[in-house]
Amino acid sequence: MDKLEQANETLKNKRETLKKLEPKKISQNTTLPNLVPTWPCIANCGEQVRAEGHLCPHCLAAKVKADRDAETRKKRAVTIVPKRFHDARIEHLDLNLIEAFNGLPDDIGLYLFGEPGRGKTYATAAIAYSFIMAGRSVVRIRYKTLCRLLRCTFQRNSKLTEEDVFKQYLLPDKLFIEDVGTAVKGVEKEESNFSRETFFELLDERLEWCRATFITTNKSLPDLATTFDERIASRVMQACVQIKLEGRDRRIKE
């Protein structure tokens, strides 16, 4: 090894030693302690926010969406619940009705019966409102109107088929059929065949699809079995919890 080679070797060794002594660079990922004060998001989601009493961006976006949905649902409720009953709410109902409503399985409805004026329409308005606000699809129809709409489809110039009309009452999550039973006691002994078949088919199909049906009527279940028939009374028993509405006549002003 000549002198030049030796000198080169020494220089190389020195460089190696120096390299090892170089300070390590601070990693880009090292987090510095956060000196800006933060507060918890008021929705208690676990996020921190830069100002006290605020929502984090995620919770704020969720709130804006929920408010918008509630507004849309309120607008929808106004078109479904009759104007006279726009203020009807579950918490204003009789306690037994509130309890029955709270305990209802999703696919079971109520059979509300009682003399006229006992608050059947008020009760269904309040129940329908709460379902609409929960985002469920709700349809209300008077039984007489339903039969008339179906009969209209039999006319030669009808644009809708019976099936088109029927579907509108088969598909919603919650169907309210009001004032079931058009036959008047002592005048007509029983419902027409058409009325009987319509009611049975609707109840039966909705039961199969596990969709709840709510019924109001002035007939008790045995009365219904007489004016309609036993099959229908038995379907109602499967589909609904029965509640008799009693108490004062709400139409009489005190």
Q: Which residues bind Zn ion (CB under 5 A)?
A: 41, 43, 45, 47, 56, 59
Work out how close the CB of 48 gets to Zn ion at its nearest, in angstroms, rounded to a whole number.
Answer: 9
- Residue 66 half-sphere exposure, CB side, CA atoms within 13 Å? 7
Q: Between 40 and 117, whose beta carbon lies closer to Zn ion?
A: 40
8-state DSSP, 83: G
Residue 80 and residue 86: Cα distance in Å, rounded? 9
Residues with Cβ within 8 Å of residue 250, at least 6 apart in sequence: 117, 118, 119, 122
| Closer residue to Zn ion (CB): 60 or 149 | 60
Shortest separation between residue 47's beta carbon and Zn ion, angstroms: 4
Q: Are 98 and 230 in contact (CB under 8 A)?
A: no
* Cβ nearer to Zn ion, comparing 60 with 170: 60
Q: Side chain identity at 107, as an amino acid letter?
A: D
Residues in CB range of 114: below 8 A, 6 or more apart:
120, 218, 244, 245, 246
Nearer to Zn ion, 49 or 225 (CB): 49
In angstroms, what is the minimal distance from the CB of 73 to Zn ion?
A: 24
Return the HEC string of 129-178: HHHHHCCCCEEEEEHHHHHHHHHHCCCCCCCCCHHHHHHHHHCCCEEEEE
62 or 80, CB closer to Zn ion?
62
Least distance to Zn ion, CB of residue 71, Å: 22
Q: What count of Cα atoms within 13 Å lies in the side-chain half-sphere of residue 71?
A: 6
Nearer residue to Zn ion within complex by CB, 47 or 204: 47
Considering the complex, state which of residue 39 and residue 194 has its C-beta at the smaller distance from Zn ion. 39
CA-based R_g, the chain, Å: 35
CB of 34 to Zn ion, least distance (A): 18
- Residues 6+ away with beta carbon under 8 Å from 4: none
CB of 32 to Zn ion, least distance (A): 24
Q: CB of 69: closest distance to Zn ion in angstroms?
A: 18
Amino acid identity of residue 31, one-letter, is: T
Q: Which residue has the tokens 């008339």?
A: 148
